[in-house]
Amino acid sequence: MGSTAALGALFLYAFDPNIIAHSALVTTDVGVTAFEVLFLFALWRYMQRLGWRRLVLCGLALGAVLGAKFSAVFLLPVAAVLLAAEIRWPIASDVEPAASAEKRNPEKRIPKAAPNSPCPCGSGKKYKRCHGAGAAPGKDVARTLRQHQLIKTAGMFLAMCAIAALVIETLYFFPSDPLLYLTGLNRVNADHVAGYRAYLHGALAPRFYTYFAVTYLLKEPLATVLLCVAGLVILVRRKSIPVLVKLLLLLTPAVFFVPISLLADDIGIRYLIPTLPFAYLLGGLALAELFDKGPAWGRYVGAALCLWLVVEAAGIYPDHLSYFNESACLLESPGKIGWDGGSRCGGQWLDDSNIDWGQGIKQLHAWLDLHAKGRQVRLTYFGSYPPEGYGLNYRKQEPSRLLANPEPGLYAVSAHWMARLPALAASSAQGTDAWLRRPPQAIVGHAFYIFDVP
């Protein structure tokens, strides 16, 4: 796909507010994505030139990604399909020896076979007894060789899995139960809160099957989304791009996205992070088309999209976790669109770690010191770090208490609860959120809404 496409993908990655936000968080989502890319790179190198050294590297990388997060098991069918598909559509490699290339393309090395000559398939029989005198030598022998290659590839895949299993056992310090990993896999989602209702655009429900699609379209920069769509069209339509490249770029994110949409909790874009590298690669393909192969005006379009991305990454700084693109405000509150995109409208669409994870406590402390020094704040908090760790003078305010006429005082309400409470009030016969709908005195770090109730 070229160096320009690679640099374009790297640029989209480096200036993605979601990646910047999660780079500072201790979660498994970025870690599993890093090892996922490492494994697929090692697998690609192995398919370019078969060898035990590269096979071992694949197994080590596979073990690392499986050990990073249980959802990485979806890479197993991806790897199996790619290895099988490589037999049908071998990778063209500039460094691959000619003999190896012949080995990968059985049809190109089929010798002419007479009825009484040894059969080229390696069975040891005469050709007429193996495939029949009236058969076409090329097709029959190629089919047999491809079957042998498929069996060999299956063996290599199992070898990768065996090495990966050894890596996992090492990461688990060789527990007494050799199936401990499978036990953990069976307990995925065991800590789900029974009856929890997800939030999407003012509605509450046990699950929204469109949740992660909507989340991607709202949380990723519009420049990146547009480039990804353009890259997808180029990838599908361009015949010069190898079939295996298309399969890698389309199959892998699809295999992750579908189970996530069906099984994962509807709480954050972080679950989609393993699919984002492939969106960046598609976007990089579109940038390469604009800068290298398109008309002269294409360079200006590409530069404008890149500048748009940089401006928004800078505009939301340092509150990247709360980023939303302009489409979040476009339909209902276009006047709120700013240098930070549509981040001020994020709570109209999503809650939880999409907008707030307690990351603004330090900023809240600084704001209180500047604007309300000495006053105690009634804090409705969504996070795990204790606010007193930053010396915050606060009184805990339960979210349910906000659905009533408030007592006089200074309130700081987490963005998560600002998004969720109106939906809870609408679904309940009791309580009101009218006072929370008034313009706040301030919004601190895109994460806390300040109200001073007289």
Token digits of residue 421: 């409470």
Classify each residue of 152-187 as buried b or exposed e, where b means 16 or more C-beta atoms within 10 Å of its C-beta: ebeebbeebbebbbebbbeeeeeeeeeeebeeeeee
Same domain, 292 and 402: no
Give the C-alpha distances (Å, rounded to integers) separating 96 from 103, 132, 241.
11, 35, 19
Please identify which residue in the block is written with the tokens 């999409």. 354
The vertex-50 CA angle with 44 and 52, nearest 5°, equals 110
Which residues are CB-contacts of 193 (< 8 A; sequence separation ≥ 6)?
none
Q: What is the DSSP string of 404-437?
A: SPPPSEEEEEEHHHHHHHHHHHHTSSS---GGGG
- Picking from 273, 295, 321, the residue at the C-terminal end of a domain is 321
Handedness of CA 372, 377, 380, 381 (dihedral sign): positive
Answer yes or no: is 440 within a domain. yes
CA distance 41 to 135: 41
Q: Is there a domain that residue 49 lies in?
A: yes
Cis peptide before 318 (omega within 30 of 0): yes
Query: What span, in angstroms and rounded, lies between the C-alpha atoms of 67 and 162?
Result: 14
Question: Per DSSP, which regions of 132-189 are E strands?
Answer: none
Residue 370 belongs to what domain range?
356-453
Is 385 inside a domain boundary?
Answer: yes
Enter the DSSP assignment of 359.
Answer: T
- For the chain, report the end-to-end CA distance as a whole number of angstroms: 62
Neighbours of 192 (CB within 10 A): 9
State whether 137 and 8 are in the same domain.
no
Residues 370, 432 share a domain: yes
List, for residues 417-441, the tens digit of each pLDDT value.
999 998 888 877 666 778 888 899 9
pLDDT band at residue 444, thresholds of 50, 70 and 90? very high
Is residue 231 within 8 A of residue 163, CB to CB? The reply is no
Give this prediction's pTM. Answer: 0.87
| 36 and 7 in a common domain | no
Longest Cα–Cα distance of the chain, Å, equals: 103
CA dist 377 and 194 (Å) reads: 32
pLDDT value of residue 149: 87
Domain-ending residue, one of 174, 208, 228: 174
Q: Looking at per-residue confidence, does 123 or 146 come out higher?
A: 146
Evaluate whether residue 310 is within a structural domain: yes
User: Beta 377-380 vs 203-205: how paired, if at all?
Assistant: unpaired
212 and 314 both lie in a single domain: yes
DSSP string, 63-94: HHHHHH-GGGGGHHHHHHHHHHHHHHSPPP-T
Q: How confident is the model at residue 131 (pLDDT cuts 50, 70, 90)?
A: low
Residues 39 and 155 in one domain: yes
**Residue 394: strand pairing partners:** 377
Residues 37 and 151 in one domain: yes
If asked whether residues 82 and 155 sit together in one domain, one would say: yes
pLDDT value of residue 200: 96
CA-CA distance, 115 to 124, in Å (whole number)? 13
Tokens linked to 256: 């992750």
Asked if residue 61 lies in contact with residue 35, where contact means CB atoms within 8 angstroms, the answer is yes
When pLDDT is averaged across residues 46-74 and rounded to a whole number, the result is: 95
pLDDT band at 446 (very low <50, low <70, confident <90, very high): very high
Side chain identity, residue 269: I
Q: Is residue 328 situated within a structural domain?
A: no
- 335 domain-assigned: no
What is the reported pLDDT for 62? 98
User: Per-residue pLDDT tens for 294-316?
Assistant: 788 999 999 999 999 999 999 99
Can you say how many angstroms the Cα of residue 249 is from the centroid of all Cα atoms in its chain?
Answer: 13
Asked if residue 336 belongs to a domain, the reply is no
Closest among 57, 127, 44, 33 to 91, alpha carbons compared: 44
Mean pLDDT for all residues in the chain: 88
Q: List the single range of 10-19, 143-152, 204-213, 345-354 with lowest mean pLDDT.
A: 143-152
Same domain, 293 and 375: no
Q: What is the pLDDT at residue 101?
A: 46
Mean pLDDT on 178-207: 89
Residue 115: per-residue pLDDT: 59
Same domain, 285 and 221: yes
Determine the average pLDDT of the residues in 185-199: 85
Rounded alpha-carbon distances, angstroms, from residue 214 to 22, 308, 314, 419: 19, 21, 24, 16
What is the count of structural domains for the chain?
A: 3
The verdict on 38 and 167 lying in the same domain is yes
Task: Give mean pLDDT, residues 401-430.
Answer: 88
Q: Residues 75, 113: one domain?
A: yes
Report yes or no on 433 lying in a domain: yes
Report how far residue 426's alpha carbon sits from residue 431's, in angstroms, rounded to the nearest whole number: 9
State the Cα–Cα distance between residues 170 and 428, nearest whole angstrom.
51
